[in-house]
Structure 1
Amino acid sequence: MAHQENIPFTPSGKSFTAVAINTAAKAGEWIKSKLGSHTTLSLKYSPQDLVTEVDKGSETMIRKLILTHFPTHSILGEEGVEPGPEASAKALTEMSGAEYLWIVDPIDGTTNFVHGFPFYTVSIALAYKGEVIVGVVYDPSRDELFVAEKGKGAYLRGKPMKVSGEAKLTDSLLATGFPADREGALPLNMAGLQHLAPKVRNVRIAGSAALHLAYVAAGRLSGFWEIGLNSWDTAAGALLVQESGGQVTDMEGNPYSLSIRDIAASNGTIQQDLLQELKAAATIGS
């Protein structure tokens, strides 16, 4: 990406990226204005999987803005899908034939939003024939907009992003999450955490997969892994990491695709070591 270092990122017109940026920014600012004033709180898949009227309002806003510009495109949004991994997989399969598919998480980090913890984001990705070509993650708390276009790099505040340079796990700062699936995914993730924590510099768990991935892309984290995620959690963030020079795979090392639920992302240098340790943890935990 060296040839891009001094080239500012300036999307224009009604390009896909410009619409994604504008939509994420408008939704993010609206979400921020609702902080501390949500009136409904419902449980989805588990007591830890929350939704508010702000999530639903944000998704409605995002859908309207996208369809205003691209009325023939399809949209897969978290709040339009029934809770649970089976429903998520079914929804993605049903829309897999769409030429242009927008994949939206109106608030990634709803629990943080509910508690006023400033680590939540709007995630918007666009896939063309199943391949993500645009990814935008907007953090309204810090007014940070992470943007990636397939083959054109990734940017923060208009400047190119680059993954971190750590070459060893012992020097690495990792992140993970506590999945909403308390029966299946959580014990697996906890096994990975217990196994990896003594082998790395430290681990962070801040509650937004999309923002964790954006931080890997920006070089703030060396790597991130989590079991049991959905396409709207990862689509935009995965492209950010890839376009910043990093690597995103499943736990077997297969390249990222929208159907992947168990994800490992890193600066690329530590990827094989990270995968090796996660496999060891799964063996120990089984």
Structure 2
Amino acid sequence: MSGREEDLALAVELAREAGDILRHHWQNRATLQPQSKRVGDFVSQADLASERHLRDRLQAARPGDGWLGEETGAGAPAARRWIVDPLDGTTNFLHGLGHFAVSIALEDDGGLALGVVHDPLRGETFAATRDGPATLNGAPIAPSPGGDMTAALFGTGIPFGDMPHIDDHAADIARIAPHCAGVRRFGAAALDLAYVAAGRLDGFWERRLQPWDIAAGLVLLRAAGARVEGWTPDGPPETTGDVVAAGPNLFTPFARIIRGG
């Protein structure tokens, strides 16, 4: 097993362990005492326990690596860095909506090297390295082959609370809705990107996401064969936080409409 394969196996193992922690808290979520980070953005004991476990295990297994976690922030600079969302979809989780995930990515001097998105309730683990393949529970996945906009189903994220760009998203939806079969807002960007990689959604767009929201999903998309860009073709999602993604046959018309071109 190569070093990259060992890293991926470790990430899968840790994502599933963190998923077990989340399932325990899910079964006892009435006892959670969430705190608000800002309007519409929450953290709970489940997020913190999952992140603590992931950080401790990664520090033990890969002591020379760096760290970026949603709840604990960035560690010291290092040649390699793990990017972790311990509970993507916290609001869903707290409301009893069973759509959330653990997201783990590894970044090295070549960019994003691997990504894992684990759905603990469905027992689904999406995983990929930079060189592919992308898999779901070990079986290869691929984006939708379709190129018909009128049959396509898209995902997005809608700003909440006091976010300033709600009008941008309203305009996006107004542009795309007349041309497609529907738009879904599931509330967990990591799973949305994994679903595009697996062909469950035909495409996805969202602005101003954080690295832990998208890092693992970007690896999955590229390894699966989807096209991924930022809001402009030369704006990398890793640095801008803006994502436009779809299968290769649909990307061009989708991107043109959603960008207002």
TM-aligned CA distance change 1:14 to 1:200, over 3 Å: closer
Specify every segment of 5 or more residues in structure 2 that has no aligned partner in the other structure, as ranges.
Answer: none
The answer for the alignment partner of 1:42 in structure 2 is: 35
- Unpaired segments ≥5 residues, structure 1: 1-9, 82-90, 282-286
Q: How does 1:63-212 map to 2 (within 5 A)?
A: 63-81=55-73, 98-129=78-109, 131-180=111-160, 182-212=162-192
For structure 1, which segment, 121-130 or 131-140, has the greater mean C-alpha deviation from structure 2 after superposition? 121-130
- Alpha-carbon distance between aligned partners in 1 of 2:31 and 2:154, rounded to the nearest angstrom: 32
Aligned CA distance change for structure 1 residues 278 and 170 (closer, same or farther; 3 Å): same
Structure 1 pair 173–278 and aligned structure 2 pair: CA distance change class (3 A): same
Percentage of pairs with the same residue = 35
Corresponding residue of 1:18: 9
Q: Which residue of 2 aligns with 1:278?
A: 258
Match of 2:200 in 1: 220
The answer to whether the 8 A contact 2:4-2:129 is kept is no
User: What is the CA-CA distance between 1:257 and the residue it aligns to?
Assistant: 4.5
Deviations 1:213-255 (A, max 9, x none): 0000111010000111111000000110111110111011236
What CA distance in whole angstroms lies between the structure 1 residues aligned with 2:41 and 2:237? 24
TM-score (ref. length: structure 1): 0.85
CA contact (8 A) 1:12 1:18 kept: no
Q: Distance in 2 between matches of 1:187 and 1:212?
A: 22
C-alpha distance in 2, partners of 1:74/1:221?
A: 33
Question: Normalising to structure 2: TM-score of the pair?
Answer: 0.93
The amino acid that maps onto 2:158 is F
The one-letter code sitting in structure 1 at the alignment partner of 2:51 is E
Q: Which secondary structure does the structure 1 equivalent of 2:238 belong to?
A: coil
Quick check: 2:81–2:106 contact (8 Å CA) kept in 1?
Answer: yes
- Which of 263, 266, 280 aligns to 2:243? It is 263
Q: Residues 195 and 14 of structure 1: is their aligned pair in 2 closer, same or farther, counting only changes over 3 Å? A: closer
- Which residue is 2:43 aligned to? 51
Counterparts in 2 of 1:44 and 1:180: CA distance versus 1, 3 Å: farther
Aligned to 1:284: none
Q: For residue 88 of structure 1, what is the aligned residue in structure 2?
A: none
**In structure 2, what is the Cα distance between the partners aligned to 1:150 and 1:27?**
23
Counterpart residue identity of residue 44, structure 1: K
Distance in 2 of aligned mates of 1:20 and 1:180: 31
